[in-house]
Amino acid sequence: MIKVLRYLKQIKSDIILSLVFVVLSQLSSLSLPLLMSLIINNGIANADLQFIKNIGAIMAAISALHVVLSVFNSYYTSKTSAGYGKILREDLFLKVESLSQIDIEKIGTPSLITRCTSDVKVMQDFILMSLRIIISSPIMLIGGTIMAVILNPKLALTILAVFPIIGIIVAIVLKTVIPIFKKRQKMTDEVNRFLRQKLSGIRVIKAFNTINKEDDIFSEKNQRLSFLVLKLQRIMSVLIPVCIVLVVVALDTIIFIATKNIDTLSDPVKIQNTVGDLQAFVIYMIMIVAAVTMSAAMFVIVPRANISAKRIKEILELESQIKDPEVAKDIDNSQKGKVEFENVSFSYEDGENNVLSNISFVAEIGKTTAIIGSTGSGKTTVANLLCRFCDVKEGRVLFGGVDVRELKQKELLSKISYIPQKPVLFSGSIRENLLYGDENASEEKLKKALDISQSSEFVFALENGMESFISQNGTNLSGGQKQRLSIARALVKDADVYIFDDSFSALDFKTDSLLRKALKENLSATVIIVAQRVGTIMNADKIIVLENGKIVGMGKHAQLMEDCAVYREIALSQLSSKEVLQ
């Protein structure tokens, strides 16, 4: 937890002010019962009205000061807690952004979301409660005990005898609840993962009419989590009442002893003084009860915060598998846009076999290189290796004559415009999405990108044109419209290499043909097209055929139709004999 709490250094001025106001607020409250005792013992006992007025004025002033100090205390503790949560979320977000895709998939997106939201909120609440309780409770407990001992040492021993019993109860509870807190967070991740998967696939669930089945699965997971939370709450619900009962029993004992002592007194003045002291003593005991109660509440918060801190720390200390070199090289301008794969092999950590084996090819500057193959042949992995979303196990991937591992990731990706298999659009206007490619792009550049991607017709048919709103993930657009806008966004960026990772799959053949023609006429950069449709890549300058992670053919369409059985089989399964010969 210490490593996660180090972020408090960035808001130390707020913490200092919070602590100052907490201490002053509690100290001011400790003096009030004593002043009240003086009024009873000296003012009322002696019928001294002026004394009562003087002490009463002091009490009123201290009470007013206590209110002001409490307001500032609440303000700065809340500000500190909110500021800490903000800093922690920002660092977590930046850390997650720096992780490779492999790292993210290893932890899981649902778990990352939970850690950046729920776990941060737990830590934020911990800071708030710590400043308000961990600091104030000892002051109330120690201060109240000292004042009680000063008033009557014998009576004070009664309340002190309860503390060891409370300590034993708390220790037993903590030993029980900490494992439950760990299990609870894991189960929360599991429920979030299930929800995210099912909500994103709701259409499929409805299409296969499995809503009732999914409901049953979710109910089972949700019930398990609910039972665990209830078990936790039942245990914790016992702790605070038991602590309070023990202290109240001690308080009743004190009052009983005090009344017995009063019965033995015959002097009215001594009786009056004893009543005044007893009243102050009872208030201090109430303070001690309140401190014990708040301390017991912290035993609920601290273990949970400790679990959340460990989960957050796991992310913050996670080293990305993709790192920038200590000394980066510069791209050779004479080879800018040239891509080379030299004997590249790749496999995932948990994979037994290579996804790619001994892949070698060159994507020439200003030409179109296409990669085709059956599902699972490794096409997308080639694109991922070039963008350095993952690193090769063997061989080299060269960009501009330099191994991509010797380039800074920011520098590499600034030269590449990538359109993924699944188009990703962000909530906002069409214009805002296009400006992801270049935030300083002119109106003319945006319109040209829309024209090339064959998006102009449907975009400007909308009432607000480029200002039209896109919902998250573009759910208010068709699949083809999303793909075309993703392509337009990539075209807005001036890149040396454009990678189209099966980015034409949702387009009809006419739009596909018009788009490829426009790309050829307007792009002078290196183009790499990953596709499953032969019609999309027939006119490429070079076609690479993959099968089971290996290159089984390379060349132009006509050549591959003669020499490559795999390519010929794919082509004939998709096109007529007449189309194949075009």
Tens digit of pLDDT for each residue in 472-498?
A: 777 788 888 899 999 999 999 988 999
Rounded distance, CA 464 to CA 472, Å? Answer: 18
Report how far Cα 450 is from the mean position of its chain's Cα atoms. Answer: 34
Rounded distance, CA 40 to CA 397, Å? Answer: 88
Residue 159's pLDDT band (cuts 50, 70, 90): low
Name which residue leads in pLDDT, 471 or 497.
497
pLDDT at 270: 45
**Do 311 and 445 fall into the same domain?**
no
Q: Does 140 reside within a domain?
A: yes
- How is residue 474 written in tokens? 């573009």
Q: Does 536 reside within a domain?
A: no
> Can you give the three-state secondary structure of 322-354, one letter per residue?
CCCCCCCCCCCHHHCCCEEEEEEEECCCCCCCC
Q: What is the mean pLDDT of residues 3-22?
A: 78
CATH code of the domain containing 440: 3.40.50.300
pLDDT at 272: 43
pLDDT at 271: 42
pLDDT, tens only, 85-97: 888 898 888 888 8
pLDDT at 343: 93
Q: Does 560 reside within a domain?
A: no
Residue 162's pLDDT band (cuts 50, 70, 90): low
Q: What is the mean pLDDT of residues 231-246?
A: 71
Residue where a domain terminates, one of 451, 478, 494: 494
Backbone φ and ψ for 543, nearest 5 degrees, come out as -120, 130
pLDDT at 333: 79
**Do 421 and 303 fall into the same domain?**
no
**Do 312 and 422 fall into the same domain?**
no
Residue 513's pLDDT band (cuts 50, 70, 90): confident
DSSP annotation string for 457-506: HHHTTSTTGGG-EE-GGGTTS-HHHHHHHHHHHHHHS--SEEEEESTTTT
Q: Does 389 reside within a domain?
A: no
CATH code of the domain containing 135: 1.20.1560.10
**Do 295 and 439 fall into the same domain?**
no
Q: What is the mean pLDDT of residues 228-250?
A: 72
**Do 288 and 433 fall into the same domain?**
no
Residue where a domain terminates, one of 271, 293, 316: 316
pLDDT at 373: 86
pLDDT at 24: 84
Q: Does 526 reside within a domain?
A: no
pLDDT above 50: residue 126: yes
Q: What is the mean pLDDT of residues 375-397?
A: 88
Beta strands at 542-547 and 550-555: parallel, antiparallel or unpaired: antiparallel
pLDDT at 251: 67
pLDDT, tens only, 172-217: 766 777 677 777 777 877 787 777 777 767 767 766 677 787 788 8
Identify the bridge partners of residue 515 per DSSP, sorted by sequence position: none
Contact 33, 280 (CB under 8 A): yes
pLDDT above 90: residue 108: no
Computed over every residue of the chain, the mean pLDDT equals 81
Least confident of 55-59, 94-98, 269-273, 302-306: 269-273
pLDDT, tens only, 561-570: 888 888 888 8
Q: Which domain holds residue 182?
A: 2-316
Q: Does 360 reside within a domain?
A: no
pLDDT, tens only, 22-50: 888 888 887 777 777 777 767 666 667 78
Q: What sign for the dihedral angle of Cα 33, 37, 40, 46?
A: negative
Q: Does 375 reside within a domain?
A: no
**Do 288 and 424 fall into the same domain?**
no
pLDDT at 369: 93
With CA atoms as reference, report the closest residue to 134 among 283, 15, 281, 282. Answer: 15
Q: What is the mean pLDDT of residues 347-357?
A: 79
Contact 346, 377 (CB under 8 A): no
Q: Is 503 helix (H, G, I), strand (E, B) or coil?
A: coil
Residue where a domain terminates, one of 253, 284, 316: 316
pLDDT at 160: 66
Q: What is the mean pLDDT of residues 372-400?
A: 88
Name which residue leads in pLDDT, 198 or 510.
510
pLDDT at 301: 76
Report how far Cα 387 is from the mean position of its chain's Cα atoms. Answer: 25
Q: What sign for the dihedral angle of Cα 294, 295, 299, 303?
A: positive
**Do 297 and 439 fall into the same domain?**
no
Residue 266's pLDDT band (cuts 50, 70, 90): very low
Least confident of 8-12, 330-334, 396-400: 8-12
**How many distinct structural domains can be found in the chain?**
2
Contact 50, 39 (CB under 8 A): no
> Can you give the three-state secondary structure of 68-80, one letter per residue?
HHHHHHHHHHHHH
DSSP annotation string for 118-144: IIHHHHHHHHHHIIIIITHHHHHHHHH
pTM: 0.70
pLDDT above 90: residue 250: no
Q: Does 280 reside within a domain?
A: yes
pLDDT above 70: residue 264: no
